[in-house]
Structure 1
């Protein structure tokens, strides 16, 4: 897809961070927008800002962990604009700490949002995108942590590895329908992911259940922290190129290569 003029894009987690930056980039390219987010106030502000810049946009409060909520988002998007051409499953959360110390609630919240959320997006939107026969593109935000295991990010890595697998499988299955698929795998970007605990449901521990990185821990993390606007533009350019993988940081390459080298070396002992 290289022409976004008049096309309709749905973005979850669209009120801030990578979601909003991508929405702004798509709007400049002429796309019409449906922003979905769990935070109503932030969503209203994002929609108002895009409208002030001339975008054709609506906002729909959505909890991606709920299939019913994502189904309702699809009904609103198709009902309002008549079609959907770009679906960006971007909403995500993070829990930090040793994998062995993660509680069942930590796992459930992470899986509900990070993995079930994208699955719900596929269920609610993709069959209708195939049926409308207008091409399109489906995107997922995974992470560098979906390509390489990270310390103290067990649930996050497990879910993001799953998102990468989901994207790779879907890309093969949608190839004959003219619908592209991309998975975004960033290292550090200037978003609110470190504070996603603010939206943790009370029945899964609430906001106080999460540990966050200290300033010293953040400073010790590998890789630069990229500006979110640059990542939004990269996402849109990657749709135009129909890239399956979208990587943001050149410094991630060495880590990924070392992982695949270890896999390759294991074949020396294969039967």
Structure 2
């Protein structure tokens, strides 16, 4: 997909982090950008800032874990622009305890609802529209390096599912001869506030599992700031993948050894082990 000027991009989880990085990048490429997020105040602020920079932006509050919200998002986009060319199923949260079996069913319901079902809802609603348009279009599903490696707990389980689902949709689109293409984004550490996901946790999931020992917000904030890449950098990588119709978007090549390690253990029938993080 090469001609992006004036095309319509829809991004969930767009009020901050990777979603905002993609929005800034797409706007810079001349696209019309639809921002969606569950965090209304942050969405208003991001929308105003992008418009002040000259971007054409439309904002819609939506909880991607709720199918009706995603359907309403699509209706709003089509009323406003009449088409959608890029969909970024990006909204995500992090929760859960270690050991993982101490996580509550509410922990599981919330993280599965956003990280996995959010992708399912977006794909089910928008992909038929893209196919019906019969023109170039692209979906980007935000997974994680945790979806390719061992030991990601609840978060990794959801992101592994996103990788698998995205691979399936890719094959189905190619085999069916349909024009839309798809990418799966698997970032390493990015300078976002996902460690503060609880700020958007719905009241319908009140039962929170115990905090993992040794974890603190201050330490997480420091690590994400010190070692995380800028969201705009990830946005630029996503834009390039869309232009190249490239499926896997790996933002941190230094994790290649870790992916190879896991693959070798699978093929050798070995029990899983972890390598130290890159740079450790």
TM-score by length of 2: 0.89
1:178 Cα shift? 1.8
In the alignment, the residues of structure 1 paired with residue 162 and residue 81 of structure 2 have an alpha-carbon distance, to the nearest angstrom, of 28
Q: 1:1-271 counterparts in 2 under 5 A?
A: 1-98=1-98, 99-150=100-151, 153-175=152-174, 176-205=177-206, 211=211, 213-214=215-216, 215=218, 224-266=227-269
Give the Å deviation of 1:216. Answer: 5.2
> How far apart are 1:97 and its partner, in Å?
2.2
**Contact 1:7 1:85 (8 Å CA) reproduced:** yes
Check conservation: 1:197, 1:210, Cα contact below 8 A. Answer: no
Q: Structure 1's 220 and 5: CA in aligned 2 closer, same or farther, altered over 3 A?
A: closer
CA contact (8 A) 2:142 2:184 kept: yes
| Counterpart Cα distance in 2 of 1:236 and 1:224 | 23
In the alignment, the residues of structure 1 paired with residue 219 and residue 43 of structure 2 have an alpha-carbon distance, to the nearest angstrom, of 32
Unaligned 5+ runs, structure 1: none
- Evaluate the alpha carbon distance shift between residue 245 and residue 79 of structure 1 in structure 2; reply closer, same or farther with a 3 A threshold: same
1:224: Cα distance to partner?
Answer: 3.7
Q: Could you tell which deviates more after superposition, 258-267 or 239-248?
A: 258-267
Distance in 2 (alpha carbons) for counterparts of 1:115 and 1:179: 21
- In structure 1, distance between residues paired with 2:220 and 2:121: 34
- Conservation of the 8 A alpha-carbon contact between 2:96 and 2:107: no
| CA distance, structure 2, for counterparts of residue 179 and residue 22 of structure 1 | 19
Moved more, 89-98 or 62-71: 89-98
> SS of 1:88's equivalent?
strand
Equivalent residues of 1:135, 1:177 under 8 A apart: no
The alpha-carbon deviation at position 158 of structure 1 amounts to 1.0
Aligned length: 263
In the TM superposition, what whole-angstrom CA distance separates every residue of 1:176-212 from its partner, at most 9, and x where no partner exists? 2121110111111000111011111112117x76737
Quickly say closer, same or farther: Cα 1:220–1:254, change in 2 above 3 A: farther
Please list the CA deviations of residues 150-191 of structure 1 after superposition, one character each: whole Å capped at 9, or x if unmatched. Answer: 2xx421111100100111011111122121110111111000
Question: SS at the partner of 2:232?
Answer: helix
CA distance in 2, matches of 1:44, 1:209: 31
Aligned partners of 1:8 and 1:34 also within 8 Å: yes
